[in-house]
């Protein structure tokens, strides 16, 4: 995945950049360069008026619905953030981010802390007032005024600020209750844009030194990094490599080639650099190793000398004709029959069938209801998900995702991304109507604070009703045909983290089933294909490209409340058995049986070891005496590689497919932004959640992993496709009700022959009428796309 996020967006060869902006050593330079690039792309695309496509549906839209309660999980308002900021600015002598260097104190994020569940439930279910609001503020201390002897290069600290709104007297305390650790050294802390810029300025200088310029240009065959017209881009691995013995910090870098399709991730060069990046002064950074063609050189001189010698072997490089990397339509292959006609679209013939409250982000559809919130760390978050008036889930939210690579080169070997550090909410750009979401979707905007800016983004997530392409149920008998449509309600967001686009979908069915899926598309992080050593780790999928084998494991928190908070986890094993029945005492029958067991204590499981895995009510049964329950199953998974120095304690949730713990306010998230680089002592060590507490009859939280063991093939060239790069969990009622719940929907057809042989048909009042659909053309005249960058109000069209 994301390859030095910032670095990779720098050298866009198609847009020229003012050379004067580049002056190595100034950590702000690269940001300016980025902004300049964004300005030049501005206005390339313009679009507006997609409300036309929705016109009919909007005209017939139901009224906004009153939310029964205030959304107590809502992200902070701009006023709340500004109040917090002025308080901590004074208290900690903060420099505004736009002016700050790594030698100042500055705020990196200000975000909401969700209320504790006990307080929330008292508000939701009782007549208590809404819980007070709190903020989480993360500060980098680079200045001398708050310096610590133990942290010569500065440190990060997370604070809890509140209750809000902030006044001079508001409490600001270190936020330790939710984390294993709340303070992080510079070395193992967060790589914010100031740090990326620092590393980038080092590489810009390095690649303009005589020796490096000479061999890099010769080996790779293009202008060296740092020049305006250079297509080289430098990627650097996560996590940072910290050596506690020498207190030194290292980073592995590699050179990719950018092109006009930003396809650098599939244009590797096979050149690797290990750099000592200890400290905050890039002029003290030092190359400690070059690796090329599986040979390590301990210094730039050593590599230069080898390159100058007669027996140096140059590896083949990617051809300059890179039209194969174009992820858009290829026009060299003709047109498929009838493909000149527009493909089908979703229509709501009688108007929208769901309601929402914009302010509270409260949604209702077909006896479902829930609130959404939005955060920089997690994207769209769901709270208080109810079906038929009963809470099924208190919280459903994305926590973290790892992308853990394997390969024959040091870059892939050292790569294990934790994407929450890059952020989901801040990387969800505007969705494209009719393409990302069906034509009848409604779009929602969002806001978050990061690096000193209150950011706004239109159309970050969409909601729509859709139809599955199969009926939810049917039956044909001697007397009748009965068939019921499968309508679903969906919330979707797409986060583009560097090379990858993650499509998250939350789907609700009329019977009480929910499905959460993730799909991946975009460019793979490819490796340079070396025929001698590469075949164990990937297929050759182009001239010099290998699809390097990696695991995507994505962790979610699902706080089930099945008929209240007294729950338990059970397994119904499905087993072969040999039975002798009383009615046939001489015969052994090979058959199969169900066998229920209860998990008494907190547990981690792999799906292949269980049968039907249930979250049950510990005190309520259905009419037939079975515990009310939800079953969870799906394509869950865990990482394949074992514990290593790149993933030691920071993603312990990825060691098994699914975990069940006792709900605790202090077990707030399974990961944190600082987990990415603090490998041994992470912000949240998930193993601490698993301390054998009783979960039988307790409030249970399920932590599950969607997973994709991604061994790329030519199906990933030029881009990975959502069709198969996917994973899904199903959460479905299991003896929860006394019978299946979709029987009350009108979206059915019944053909019935009565006793006299007379046929009749029934559409239950929802017979599709023939009508003209006044769908208008998509008007793209006010679409504006400033290129992908984090920043205020960065993309596109008006929010609906
Ligand atoms: C406050 O921060 C500024 C900017 O980093 C610094 O120049 C100044 O010395 C600091 N003030 C104190 C009292 O340390
Ligand atoms: C939530 O609970 C924790 C642990 O009991 C407590 O330290 C924290 O202050 C509470 N947070 C809020 C926002 O009330
Ligand atoms: C890394 O660089 C730092 C300072 O720039 C130096 O003190 C340290 O010794 C170096 N580490 C190694 C292992 O060379
Ligand atoms: C390079 O360094 C490694 C250890 O860092 C050492 O084992 C090796 O001998 C060195 N190679 C040369 C050619 O100096
Ligand atoms: C570039 O490669 C494509 C196939 O990937 C080929 O169709 C095209 O003709 C080539 N263009 C040039 C200019 O060689
Ligand atoms: C295909 O697209 C390329 C670049 O966009 C263009 O130069 C070429 O003329 C197009 N070819 C055809 C057959 O349309
Ligand atoms: C989001 O959209 C709503 C409705 O259009 C608007 O009232 C609100 O100001 C917008 N919020 C942001 C942060 O842009
Ligand atoms: C976001 O949508 C609002 C309307 O809801 C519009 O005024 C604003 O210009 C949009 N922002 C951008 C960057 O397009
Ligand atoms: Cu992948």
Question: Rounded CA gap, 588 and 57, in Å?
Answer: 63
Q: How many helical (H) and strand (E) elements, i.e. helices and strands, does the chain have?
A: 9, 38
Active-site annotation holds for 469: no
Q: Would the CB of 452 count as within 6 Å of ligand 1? A: no
Contact (CB, 8 A) for 74 and 795:
no
Mutate to test the pocket of ligand 2, among 84, 177, 664 (most ligand atoms within 8 A of CB): 177
Q: Please write the tens of the pLDDT for every residue from 57-82.
A: 566 778 899 999 999 999 999 999 99
Question: Rounded CA gap, 56 and 352, in Å?
Answer: 9
Cα of 333 to ligand 5 centre, how many Å?
12
Cα of 112 to ligand 2 centre, how many Å?
13
Q: Please write the tens of the pLDDT for every residue from 747-788.
A: 999 999 999 999 999 999 998 877 766 666 666 666 667 677
Nearest-ligand number for the alpha carbon of 455: 7
Residues with CB under 6 A from ligand 5: 321, 323-324, 332
Q: Would the CB of 308 count as within 6 Å of ligand 2? A: no
Cα of 516 to ligand 6 centre, how many Å?
40
Question: Rounded CA gap, 189 and 106, in Å?
Answer: 14
Nearest-ligand number for the alpha carbon of 296: 4
Closest atom of ligand 7 to 793 CA is 14
| pLDDT band, very low/low/confident/very high, at 5 (cuts 50, 70, 90) | very low
Closest atom of ligand 3 to 250 CA is 1
Q: Would the CB of 116 count as within 6 Å of ligand 2? A: yes
Mutate to test the pocket of ligand 3, among 187, 277, 278, 298 (most ligand atoms within 8 A of CB): 278
Q: Please write the tens of the pLDDT for every residue from 535-572.
A: 999 999 999 999 999 999 999 999 999 999 999 999 99
Mutate to test the pocket of ligand 5, among 261, 267, 320, 321 (most ligand atoms within 8 A of CB): 321
Which of helix, strand or coil describes residue 88?
helix
Structure tokens given for 427: 């990387």
Phi, psi of 553 (to 5 degrees): -125, 125
Contact (CB, 8 A) for 186 and 153:
yes
Q: Which of 238, 258, 419, 699 is catalytic?
A: 419
Of 131 and 31, more confident: 131
Question: Which protein residue's CA is at the shortest distance from atom 6 of ligand 2?
Answer: 177
| pLDDT band, very low/low/confident/very high, at 729 (cuts 50, 70, 90) | very high
pTM of the entire predicted model: 0.92
Residues 6+ away with beta carbon under 8 Å from 347: 57, 439, 440, 773, 775
Q: Which of 242, 304, 422, 500 is catalytic?
A: 500
Question: Rounded CA gap, 703 and 515, in Å?
Answer: 15
Active-site annotation holds for 633: no
Contact (CB, 8 A) for 33 and 10:
yes
pLDDT of residue 61: 79
| pLDDT band, very low/low/confident/very high, at 49 (cuts 50, 70, 90) | very low
> What is the average per-residue pLDDT within 488-500?
95
Q: Would the CB of 426 count as within 6 Å of ligand 8? A: no
Mutate to test the pocket of ligand 3, among 152, 240, 276 (most ligand atoms within 8 A of CB): 276
Cα of 457 to ligand 4 centre, how many Å?
50
Cα of 141 to ligand 1 centre, how many Å?
11
| pLDDT band, very low/low/confident/very high, at 157 (cuts 50, 70, 90) | very high
Cα of 160 to ligand 2 centre, how many Å?
10
pLDDT of residue 58: 61
Q: Would the CB of 104 count as within 6 Å of ligand 1? A: yes
Of 458 and 250, more confident: 250
Contact (CB, 8 A) for 597 and 668:
no
Closest atom of ligand 7 to 447 CA is 13
Question: Which protein residue's CA is at the shortest distance from atom 7 of ligand 8?
Answer: 798
pLDDT exceeds cutoff 80 at 9: no
Question: Rounded CA gap, 131 and 121, in Å?
Answer: 10
Question: Which protein residue's CA is at the shortest distance from atom 2 of ligand 1?
Answer: 93
Contact (CB, 8 A) for 234 and 212:
no
Phi, psi of 705 (to 5 degrees): -115, 115
């Amino acid at each position: 995945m994301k390859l030095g996020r910032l670095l990779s967006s720098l050298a866009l060869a198609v847009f020229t950049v003012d050379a004067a902006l580049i002056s190595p050593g100034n950590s702000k330079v690269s940001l300016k360069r980025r902004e300049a690039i964004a300005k030049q792309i501005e206005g390339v695309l313009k679009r507006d008026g997609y409300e036309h496509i929705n016109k009919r549906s909007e005209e017939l839209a139901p009224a906004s619905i009153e939310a029964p309660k205030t959304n107590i999980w809502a992200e902070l308002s701009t006023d709340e953030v500004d109040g917090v900021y002025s308080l901590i600015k004074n208290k900690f002598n903060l420099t505004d981010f736009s002016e700050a260097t790594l030698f100042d104190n500055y705020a990196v994020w200000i975000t909401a802390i969700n209320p504790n569940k006990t307080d929330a439930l008292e508000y939701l279910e009782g007549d208590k007032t809404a819980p007070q609001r709190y903020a989480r503020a993360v500060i980098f201390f680079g200045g001398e005024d708050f310096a610590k002897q133990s942290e010569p290069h500065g440190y990060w600290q997370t604070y809890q600020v509140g209750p809000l709104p902030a006044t001079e007297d508001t409490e600001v305390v270190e936020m330790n209750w939710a984390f294993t650790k709340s303070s992080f050294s510079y070395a193992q802390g967060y790589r914010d844009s100031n740090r990326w810029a620092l590393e980038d300025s080092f590489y810009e200088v390095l690649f303009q030194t005589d020796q490096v310029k000479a061999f890099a240009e010769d080996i790779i065959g293009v202008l060296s990094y740092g020049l305006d017209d250079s297509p080289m881009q430098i990627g650097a691995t996560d996590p940072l490599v910290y050596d506690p013995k020498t207190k030194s910090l290292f980073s592995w870098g590699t050179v990719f080639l950018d092109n006009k399709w930003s396809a650098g991730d599939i244009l590797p060069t096979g050149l690797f650099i290990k750099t000592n990046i200890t400290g905050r002064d890039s002029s003290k950074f030092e190359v400690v190793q070059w690796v090329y063609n599986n040979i390590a050189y301990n210094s730039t001189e050593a590599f230069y000398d080898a390159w100058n010698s007669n027996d140096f072997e140059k590896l083949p490089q990617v051809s300059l004709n890179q039209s194969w990397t174009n992820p858009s339509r290829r026009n060299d292959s003709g047109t498929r029959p009838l493909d000149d006609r527009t493909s089908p679209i979703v229509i709501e013939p009688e108007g929208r069938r769901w309601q929402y409250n914009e302010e509270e982000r409260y949604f209702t559809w077909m006896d479902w209801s829930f609130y959404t919130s939005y955060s920089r760390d997690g994207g769209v978050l769901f709270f208080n998900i109810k079906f038929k008036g009963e809470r099924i889930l208190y919280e459903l939210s994305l926590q973290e995702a790892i992308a853990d690579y394997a390969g024959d080169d040091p870059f892939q070997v050292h790569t294990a991304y934790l994407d929450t550090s890059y952020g989901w909410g801040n990387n969800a750009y505007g969705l494209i109507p009719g393409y990302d979401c069906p034509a009848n979707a409604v779009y929602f905007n969002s806001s978050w604070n990061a690096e000193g800016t209150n950011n706004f983004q239109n159309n970050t997530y969409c909601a729509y009703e859709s139809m599955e392409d199969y009926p939810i149920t049917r039956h044909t008998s001697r007397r009748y045909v009965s068939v019921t449509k499968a309508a679903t309600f969906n919330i979707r967001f797409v986060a583009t983290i560097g090379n990858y686009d993650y499509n998250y979908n939350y789907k609700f069915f009329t019977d009480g089933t929910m499905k959460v899926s993730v799909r991946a598309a975009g460019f793979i992080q490819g490796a340079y294909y070396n025929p001698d050593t590469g075949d164990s780790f990937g297929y050759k999928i182009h001239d010099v490209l290998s699809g390097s084998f990696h695991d995507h494991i994505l962790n979610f928190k699902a706080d089930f409340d099945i008929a209240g908070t007294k729950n338990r986890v059970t397994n119904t094993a499905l087993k072969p058995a040999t039975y002798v029945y009383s009615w046939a005492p001489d015969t052994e029958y090979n058959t199969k049986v169900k066998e229920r067991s209860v998990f008494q204590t907190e547990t981690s499981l792999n799906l292949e070891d269980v049968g039907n895995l249930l979250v049950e009510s510990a005190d309520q049964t259905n009419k037939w005496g079975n515990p009310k329950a939800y079953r969870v199953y799906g394509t869950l998974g865990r990482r394949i590689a074992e514990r290593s120095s790149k993933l030691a304690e920071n993603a312990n949730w990825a060691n098994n497919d699914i975990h069940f713990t006792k709900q605790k306010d202090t077990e707030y998230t399974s990961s944190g932004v600082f987990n990415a680089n603090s490998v041994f002592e992470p912000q949240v060590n998930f193993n601490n959640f698993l301390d054998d507490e009783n979960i039988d009859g307790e409030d249970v939280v399920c932590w599950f992993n969607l997973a994709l063991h991604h061994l790329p093939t030519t199906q990933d060239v030029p881009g990975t496709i959502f069709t198969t790069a996917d994973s899904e969990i199903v959460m479905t009622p299991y003896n929860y009700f006394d019978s299946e719940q979709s029987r009350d929907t009108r979206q059915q057809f019944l053909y019935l022959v009565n006793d006299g042989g007379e046929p009749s048909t029934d559409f239950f009042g929802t017979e599709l009428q023939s009508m003209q659909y006044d769908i208008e053309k998509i008007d793209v005249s006010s679409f504006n796309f400033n290129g992908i960058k984090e920043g205020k109000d960065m993309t596109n069209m008006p929010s609906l």
